Amino acid sequence: MTAPLDPPKLGEPYLLTPGPLTTSYAVKEAMLRDWGSWDDDFRAMTRELRTRLLAMLGEGAGDFDCVPMQGSGTFAVEAMLASFIPRDGKALVLANGAYGKRSAQTMEYLGRDFVLVDKGDYLPPRGDEVAKILAEDPAITHVVAIHCETSSGILNPIEEISQATYAAGRKLLIDSMSAFGAIELKPSEIRYEALVSSANKCIEGVPGFGFVIARKAELEAAKGRSHSLSLDVHAQWANMAKTGQWRFTPPTHVVAAFLVALKAHEAEGGVAARGARYARNRDVMVAGMRELGFETLLNDRWLSPIIVTFFCPAHESFVFDRFYALMKDKGFITYPGKLTVVDSFRVGCIGQMDEHVMRKVVEAAAASLKEMGVDDARPPAIALEERAKLAA
């Protein structure tokens, strides 16, 4: 399927980063006027935004509601944790990268009880491990999981995590920041109480707000739980139900841009088509990079269609900062890696890009290597030993 792309026209580079990302010209153009936050027109925009996001859940969406929250994605994660985990509750936080650890840190700030399972840089938390921990600790009320852990690009096994959680009678909260809109999360197939995502990831809007999608029963139960006035999901929800307005100044231009992005998402064919374009982006880019000798951190079973981590080549002339600058010269902004054991970098597959752009990315990488005098992009042996820890 060919997606109706509307690439940058202003000569700016492609952002191969997982948000902010490359948005369409139409999305940017939507920000060229002002809206009164109390005006009916803007209230209708907020209403449409919530309805369209909810519709993305598919079957079972009727039990849920959508609450937009000002701020970056982290604000929405904090709002979710503080609103749905009772003050006397206890969370099991599953981490395999920076975002899982950030959720644990948020629990620390909130002063709420939690246990952290830290799987390191990328090993996935599995259903049987979750089941074992929950069986041993009856005080745990909630499991917090990261859908796509953007720091390595791994797509975590959210289905088995959900099964283990509900088999033990606990509740699941999902940070689906970098996956929602491209990877299905149908409540009829995967059970959970709430998820969060933000404007500037797979829906391809600009940064400025996040949103919580939660079961109405959980939203009702969240009253009075939050530690924070501005991050209180129940209060924002109740106010929107009553007045149609955000409680505090909304990012009006970001909302306008987001509506254009939502319509483009629908026109492309919704979650399945968006996910298919990103998967194709990944497949074309990874195949090309592998031909150059690059190796991915993850084997194919765990590669998300969102972002891919590559090991830096072992060649002595390879320096990431120089590679970054050469790629930027050619119109592509890459992303440094976050692995602790070996050097790595990341290439995002999301945003207004298709496989033709991804082929140019590979060409640019080949040319950059040549300019650096790197004739072999293979990683050091230790990188491959590291990868061998990951079961297929």
Ligand X SMILES: *Cc1c(COP(=O)(O)O)cnc(C)c1O
Q: Which residues bind ligand X (CB under 6 A)?
A: 18-19, 72-74, 77, 99, 146, 150, 175, 177-178, 198
Q: Which CB sits closer to ligand X, 193 or 364?
A: 193
SS3 content of the chain, % helix, strand, coil (to 5): 40, 15, 40
Nearest distance from residue 229's CB to ligand X, in Å?
19
Q: Which CB sits closer to ligand X, 46 or 197?
A: 197
Nearest distance from residue 173's CB to ligand X, in Å?
12
DSSP letters spanning 35-90: --TTSHHHHHHHHHHHHHHHHTT-TTGGGEEEEEEES-HHHHHHHHHHHHS-TT-E
Q: Which amino acid makes up residue 331?
A: G
Helices 73-84 & 233-243 angle (0-180, nearest 10): 100
Q: Which residue is nearest to ligand X (CB)?
A: 73
- Residues 97/175, Cβ–Cβ less than 8 Å: no
Q: Which CB sits closer to ligand X, 23 or 178?
A: 178
Q: Is 346 annotated as a binding residue?
A: yes
* Cα–Cα dist 105/128, whole Å: 25
Q: Which CB sits closer to ligand X, 77 or 79?
A: 77
Nearest distance from residue 197's CB to ligand X, in Å?
9
Nearest distance from residue 176's CB to ligand X, in Å?
8
**Run of H or E residues at 142:** strand 142-146
- Residues 213/61, Cβ–Cβ less than 8 Å: no
Q: Which CB sits closer to ligand X, 49 or 306?
A: 306
Nearest distance from residue 207's CB to ligand X, in Å?
7
Strand residues in 199-339 grouped as ranges (E)? 209-215, 307-311, 332-333, 335-336
* Cα–Cα dist 216/193, whole Å: 9
Binding residues for substrate are 346
Binding residues are 346
